[in-house]
Structures are given as C-alpha cells and as structure tokens.
Amino acid sequence: MAYNVFRFCTGLKVVGSLMILVVLGVVGVSYYAVVAASYGPELLDGGGKAAGALLVILAFHVLLFMLLWSYFAVVFTDPGGVPSGWRPPPQEQDEELGETAPFSGAVPSQGAPDSAAGDPPGGAVGGRRPRYCRKCMAFKPARCHHCSVCQRCILRMDHHCVWVVNCVGAKNYKFFLLFLLYTFLECTLTAAALLPHFIFFFQDEDQQAQSASNLATVFLAFVLNLAFALSVLGFLVMHTSMVLSNTTTIEAFEKKVGSRWRFDVGKRKNFEQVFGLRPLIWLLPLYTEEDFRRIPALNGLDFPVRSDLESQDRW
C-alpha cells in the first residue's frame, strides 16, 4: 500500500467518550419526540388512535432496548488481544524471522496493516505466515492488526470505531453488526412514526402556536432519524456482504479485486463464525459456551480455510 488513507482517522481519537453522550443525546431526543410529544398523549387520550399509539410505543421500546444492549455490548466487550506469550508454530517462526522486512519508521494506522507493525514484505492478509508487531514487540496471528488508538494488536480487527469508543474485532463484531441493525430499525420506525405528526404540525396553525417546542423536537428527531437510517443502511449492507464472504473492513481494503479469499468457507459457515451456531440467539448480543468451544474463529487465533478454492458451500 503506497499511501495509508486510514491515517486521517487517527485524529478522531480526541473525540473519545463524548461519542457515547452523542448517541445517548440522539436517543433522548427521539424518545421525547415519539413517547412524550406524539404517541404518549394519544395513548392517554384513548379513542381510536390509542391502539395504534400503543403498538408504536411498544415497538419503539423493544427496539430501543435491543439497540442499547447491543451498543453497550460493543463498548464494554474486549475485541480480543493477542494472549501474552503467544507464538506461532516453530517452522513458521523460522520463516517469519528470516523474511521480515526492516522497520520502515512509518506511523501505524488505526485500521490498516502497516510496515511499522512488522508485516512481512508481500504478505497479504490471510497469508500463511504470522506477522511480528514492532510496536507490541510480539508475534501476531493471521488477521490480527495493530491499532494505533488502542495501542495494541487486535484479533481479527475490523476497524476502530469512534462511535463505540472501541475496536471492533473477533469478540465483539457480532455486537457491532446488531447495533447497526437495531439502529437502522429504530431510526426507520421513529422517522415513519413521526412523519404524520411532522406533517400535521405544518397543516394546523393552532397546533403550531400551542406546541412550538414539540414542533421543534419532532422536526429535529425526524431529520436525525431519517439521516441515521439512510447512512446506517449503507454500512449494514456493506458489512452483511463482508460477513458472508468472511472479510473484514481492513481485508477488503487490502485485497486485490477478483482475488479468491482463502478464509471464505461458504456463506453458512462464514455467518456462523460471527453469529454462532444457535439461530435462537443470532439476534441477541451474546454467545454460548458451545459457540466458543465449537467455533475457534470466535477466539481470533485459528480460522478454517478453504481446502478447495474452486468449491463453494451453499447456504
């Protein structure tokens, strides 16, 4: 890589934990607009609109609970670091020590492989050789990268996300994806629920005069949720594609167009490496002990590879 575009992201670390307050602020505005200003009064007034208001409020709270659960699961779950003293097999150590390029002095990025972290020359992500991190002064497994924000190597690193103030890696990638999913669903529901009230405020002059503060809140919440729903949808589609091909954001940035990916073992198995084996908890931000026992990839150290690049598993 001749130029590392991810270095522009390193300045975002100054934002720090303020992003959590931004997320909670958007949630607060949306909650007031939907529950306090719009559908709460309709529910309390009774009548023909009460049943619809109850359904909107229930759906809003269910999605909000799942959104916050997934969000804080990403924030507080360690994405996975290289175990102390981890070393590759002896034959791979010899290969690595004999072929590692000299330290280039380049500044490592938060989201891309770099020569400062000691990747061997010509060693594409997913290569059979482990790499050596010159920052951590330790070997790092395949698909592991050094994060300049967290100042350590992250197993199966996808990217460092300022919105969750944490790296997204082997052990919290599922939680990040669920956060995107529930954010999209919640924002879509909120925008759709507020649209009739948004239009009503502009049609009824008396209502505008009596509820100027509610109008401002509804307007702000509608615009914010519509914008978030559209933007998150793009990320959700992108990450869904990467899950099904068993690719991280960093790996997608590195891979050559048209190259066949040795970690792509079929859509079903690729999906299970992130979401686990039990469909009943695919939509919950948690894993079972069986998942960690039967899916080594969740630990970020050992990944199955395609034995036949021409074969393709079907869903």
Kindly state the average pLDDT of the residues 252-259.
Answer: 68
pLDDT score of 239 more than 80: yes
pLDDT for the residue 204: 59
Known catalytic membership, residue 9: no
Q: Does pTM surpass 0.75?
A: yes
Residue that is written with structure tokens 């939907």 in the block? 34
pLDDT for the residue 306: 80
| Residues 28-87: tens digit of each pLDDT | 999 999 999 889 988 988 877 899 999 999 999 999 999 999 999 999 999 999 998 888
* pLDDT classification of 259: cutoffs 50, 70, 90: low
* pLDDT classification of 114: cutoffs 50, 70, 90: very low
Share above pLDDT 70 across residues of the chain, in percent, rounded to a whole number = 73
pLDDT score of 217 more than 60: yes
DSSP characters over 114-180: -GGGTPPTT--TT-SS-EEETTTTEEE-TT-EEETTTTEEETT--EEETTTTEEE-TTTHHHHHHHH
| Residue type present at position 181 | L
pLDDT for the residue 153: 95
- Is 144 within 8 Å of 128 (Cβ atoms)? no
Q: Poorest-confidence range of 127-136, 203-212, 265-274, 296-305?
A: 203-212
* pLDDT classification of 244: cutoffs 50, 70, 90: very high
DSSP state of 81: B
Q: How far apart are the first and last CA of the chain?
A: 34
Residue partners of 161: CB distance under 8 A and separation at least 6: 74, 167, 168, 176
pLDDT score of 111 more than 50: no
Domain spans in the chain, listed from the N-terminal domain onward:
5-82+165-203+210-311
Kindly state the average pLDDT of the residues 296-307.
Answer: 88
pLDDT score of 222 more than 50: yes
| Token pair for 80 | 């996975």
Residue that is written with structure tokens 């036949």 in the block? 308
Report the residue count for the chain.
315
- How much is the mean pLDDT over the chain? 80
Report d(CA 113, CA 293) in Å as an integer: 29
* C-alpha dihedral, 99 to 103 to 107 to 110, nearest 10°: 30
Phi and psi based region of residue 47 (left: phi greater than 0; alpha: psi -120 to 50; beta: remaining): left
Of the residues 133, 161, 167, 187, which is catalytic?
A: 161
Q: What are the C-alpha distances in Å from 289 to residues 169, 294, 297?
A: 19, 9, 14
